Structure 1
Amino acid sequence: MYKQSCIACHGTDLEGKMGPNLQKIGGKMTDQQLFKLVQNGRGGMPAFKSSLKDEDIANIARWLAEKK
C-alpha cells in the first residue's frame, strides 16, 4: 500500500520528497499515532487523502509502526 499510495511524495530514501519520509518515523510512533498522522496529515495531504479508506490507513500505520 505504501508503494502504491505514499511513495511518490514520501520517498524511499529516508529523506522524503514533498512530504516527510514516513518510514523514517515508523517504529518511533504507535500504529494509533501513525493512523492519526496519515489520516489527518500535518498540513493536510492533498486530494489523495480522500481516496484512502480507514482500512488502508490502518494497514499503512501497522506497516510503518513495525519499521525500525
Structure 2
Amino acid sequence: MACHGAGLAGDFGPNLTKVGSHKTKDEIAAQILKGKGDMPPFESALKSDEIEALATWLAAKK
C-alpha cells in the first residue's frame, strides 16, 4: 500500500488495478522477484509460494 496505494490505484508506484491485462503471471512474478526501476526486489523478503500467490492474484486484475 505504501507504493501502489489503497486499492492498487497508484501512488508512488504505478496503478495495478488492471495489471493482468498487460502482464502475464510470469512477468509479474519476475518483477516481484527481481524488481525493476524504482521497485526493489522481494526475492529475499517473500517465500516462493507467497510470490506465486501474489502474482496469480495480480494477473487476475483485468
Q: What's the TM-score once normalised by structure 1's chain length? A: 0.66
After TM superposition, which residue ranges in structure 1, 4 or more long, deviate above 3 angstroms? none
The runs of 5 or more residues in structure 1 that have no matched partner are 1-6
Which one has a larger percent helix, Structure 1 or Structure 2? 1
The runs of 5 or more residues in structure 2 that have no matched partner are none
Decide which of 8, 20, 25 is 2:19's aligned counterpart: 25
Corresponding residue pairs, total: 59
| Identity across the alignment (%) | 42
Higher relative contact order (CA 8 A, sep 6+): 1
Distance in 2 (alpha carbons) for counterparts of 1:13 and 1:33: 18
CA RMSD of aligned residues (A): 2.0
